[in-house]
């Protein structure tokens, strides 16, 4: 989710500052102070604070202001919260947590997709597997990232489980963060691209066991590569 205009600019300062602890838990954000510091209107401040409230990063009370809440209250699946945490010192822990989530969810989603996917979903996955192959060979990391995000989101949707489908943005934020923070190889590994093709082919063939195994290899491998890079 991209927040446009002045509220987005204000959030681009406040969000990372809260996520990194620069604005610590218990701090109170007051509208009049934010207006003066950032030179924005009360309306802009209210909109930015409303978004932070929706993420459970702050709690607002009349005549008090907006109090920064502890991390345990945050909507840690929100793609913007993920992005902000990845930009700070919490990056390694955030990536490991999200990598573990992917290991728990995505193989199960792939197995379900092999049983549940309709013809449109199968065609979409097949097309995306081709695009991943082409962009990997061209070493076009920007295009590869777009197709990789779309591929994993499509698998989650094809599972038929609305809870899994809702994690598409979360997985996309993880993949984007790994690329933006230079935690991906300069050229996508051929074995990883091949595994994506295997997932697509297994789902199209209704082979749940192979789809699950190939997806598990992808996400476990990504977590192991991440650990090696961070170390």
Per DSSP, 67 falls in state E
Q: Is the pLDDT of residue 2 over 70?
A: no
Q: pLDDT tens, 172-207?
A: 988 998 888 777 777 888 999 999 999 999 999 999
Mean pLDDT, rounded, for 150-177: 95
Q: Is the pLDDT of residue 230 over 80?
A: no
Q: Is the pLDDT of residue 32 over 90?
A: yes
Write down the residue that tokens 């990789």 correspond to: 148
d(CA 221, CA 226): 8
Q: What is the pTM of this model?
A: 0.86
Task: Name all domains of the chain by residue range, CATH numbers in brackets.
Answer: 5-72 (1.10.10.10), 79-230 (1.20.120.530)
Q: Residue 212 to residues 117, 155, 206, 216: CA-CA distances in angstroms? A: 14, 11, 11, 6
With CA atoms as reference, report the closest residue to 93 among 148, 101, 156.
101
Instruction: State residue 231's pLDDT score.
Output: 67
Instruction: State residue 101's pLDDT score.
Output: 95
Q: Is the pLDDT of residue 17 over 60?
A: yes
Instruction: State residue 182's pLDDT score.
Output: 77
């Amino acid at each position: 989710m991209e927040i446009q205009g002045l509220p987005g600019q204000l959030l681009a300062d406040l969000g990372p500052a809260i996520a990194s602890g620069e604005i610590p838990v218990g701090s109170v954000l007051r509208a009049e102070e934010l207006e003066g510091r950032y030179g924005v209107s009360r309306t802009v401040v209210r909109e930015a604070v409303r978004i932070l409230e929706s993420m459970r990063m702050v709690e607002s009370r009349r005549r008090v202001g907006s109090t920064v809440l502890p991390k345990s209250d945050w909507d840690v699946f929100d793609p913007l919260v993920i992005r902000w945490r990845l930009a700070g010192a919490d990056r390694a822990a955030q990536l490991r947590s999200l990598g573990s989530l992917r290991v728990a969810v995505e193989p199960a989603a792939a197995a379900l997709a092999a049983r549940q996917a309709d013809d449109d979903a199968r065609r979409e996955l097949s097309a995306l597997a081709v695009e991943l192959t082409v962009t990997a060979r061209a070493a076009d990391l920007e295009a590869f990232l777009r197709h990789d995000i779309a591929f994993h989101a499509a698998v989650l949707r094809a599972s038929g489980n609305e809870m899994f489908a809702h994690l598409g943005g979360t997985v996309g934020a993880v993949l984007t963060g790994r690329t933006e923070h230079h935690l991906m190889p300069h050229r996508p590994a051929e074995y990883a691209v091949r595994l994506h093709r295997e997932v697509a082919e297994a789902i199209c063939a209704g082979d749940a066991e192979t789809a699950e195994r190939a997806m598990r290899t992808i996400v476990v491998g990504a977590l192991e590569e991440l650990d090696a890079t961070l170390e």
